[in-house]
Structure 1
């Protein structure tokens, strides 16, 4: 089994506390509000929201520009969460369409760091665990998933700019 690790940084004009809240703590309630055109629902199916919790996100059908065409849901397991340091990791444990047959699982590690202007830098590390001798195109997944993460964070930013008291 091989491992591919990719790192990205994304600037966001939202404080680390608000970004952490939307992306980690209140994602079940906030993400369908922030991205109603893409996320139909988000629910906890096991656990209390902390490490070990399993969350299911159901996507609106027919939206290939944000999710993968044909992807209706994904299940994520929260691996670790540090509310004081704004770090959070989760793994994708199930999806009705897995884009790469060679991938066993993907672990996402996120850290939200304050900028001098009061915004954040989202530092994201994705670790792909590859089955057997499988191979995936590192450059392709870096570009595709980097753009999707950036789009998600820009949507969160726009939500908080329009709803500063949220």
Structure 2
């Protein structure tokens, strides 16, 4: 089994604790407000803390329809969130699992920086299409930008 790591960062003018609270802690409530066709989140197992398994169903007709992931870390003190994608449309004949860690750090002028690390665990001797993967990861950052836009237009939420 091979491993491929992809890292990226995006800056925002939203303060780090506000962004973490909205984008991570309250994501199940925020996403339906900002994503067309409201993705549905269901807790399959657990109480919402580490070890919880969630199923997210997307109704937008895109490539990804279902993601099943296990919450590994939610650390409000260090503003870190880590989960493992176990099943769904991101898992394939090539990919066994994906571990994602999101960390929010202080950005310039009171803003924040979202640091995203994705670790792809590859089945056997398979190879990943790294350019496609990069494109898919960049699409994922769109949600971050949409959330930031929502928070800017709704400044009283998540204070």
**TM-score, structure 1 length as denominator?**
0.87
Aligned to 2:87: 94
Corresponding residue of 2:3? 3
- Which deviations, in whole Å up to 9, do the C-alpha atoms of 1:70-92 show, x marking residues without a partner? x3221111111211110111111
Moved over 4 A (4+): none
Map of 2:103 onto structure 1: 111
User: What SS is found at the alignment partner of 1:32?
Assistant: helix
Residue 153 in 1 paired to residue 144 in 2? yes
Does 2:10 align with 1:19? Answer: no
| Residue 42 of structure 1: aligned partner | 41
> Is the contact between residue 31 and residue 39 of structure 2 (CA under 8 Å) also seen in structure 1?
no
Query: Structure 2: where are the runs of 5+ without partners?
Result: none
Q: What is the distance in 1 between the residues matched to 2:68 and 2:91?
A: 14
- What RMSD over aligned residues (CA atoms) do the two structures have, in Å? 1.6
The answer to whether 1:84 aligns with 2:83 is no
Please give the alpha-carbon distance, in whole angstroms, between the structure 2 residues aligned to 1:29 and 1:150.
18
Alignment gaps of 5+ in structure 1: none
Per-residue CA deviations over 1:111-166 (Å, capped at 9, x if unaligned) read 10111312111111100000111111223202321x22221111110110111111
